[in-house]
Amino acid sequence: MSRPRPISIANQHPALRLDRAAVRRVISTLDAVAASTKGTFREGVPGGELSIVFMTDPALAQLHADFLDDPTPTDVITFEGTPELGTAGEICVSADRAADYAQSQGRDFSEELTLYLVHGWLHLAGYDDLQPALKRQMRAAEKRAMRALADAGLRPRFSLTA
């Protein structure tokens, strides 16, 4: 059995409470499913340390402006790593966007934020969602991933405090 990848988790959102161990289990489970079922999630995320950053909407919008020349808010931004240097990439997620979307759609905040992590992981695994056909593939992969996490009994709890 291979050793789990190193995962760095930064919580830059002042009101977000999270269980880092549960977040690590989500990523480890996705990595394990990708390794054991070739093609389920393409080849999976490249090896190396994975960084996850939970952010506010304004902070993620600033990253969006600085690195993608688009100042609008977004839910997830991923940065590819350099496996030769031991990095798989970075997933930056907006806890604010997850909370707003979950509330407006009557969804569970923890499930929505977990979906954002899955979405970022899938981007690093080679999925894209900028064109309709690619977006359908991404959505199907998100459903498979969320099902795999549910089957494993993984549902990290996140909360926003006032």
pLDDT tens column, 78-124: 999 998 899 999 999 999 999 999 999 999 999 999 999 999 999 99
pLDDT of residue 110: 97
Residue 108 is labelled as binding a ligand: no
- The Cα–Cα gap between 16 and 54 comes to 8
Q: For residue 159, what are the contacts with CB-CB under 8 A and spacing of at least 6?
A: 16, 17, 109, 110
pTM assigned to the model = 0.93
Residue 13 is labelled as binding a ligand: no
Is 150 in contact with 108 (CB distance < 8 Å)? no
Residue 129 is labelled as binding a ligand: yes
DSSP H or E run through 4 = none
Is 30 in contact with 120 (CB distance < 8 Å)? no
- Tell me the domains of the chain and their CATH numbers: 7-159 (3.40.390.30)
pLDDT of residue 38: 67
pLDDT of residue 29: 92
Identify each DSSP E strand in the chain by its residue range.
7-11, 16-18, 40-43, 49-55, 76-80, 87-94, 158-160
Distances in whole angstroms, Cα of residue 24 to Cα of each of 40, 51, 101, 131: 20, 11, 24, 30
pLDDT of residue 1: 45
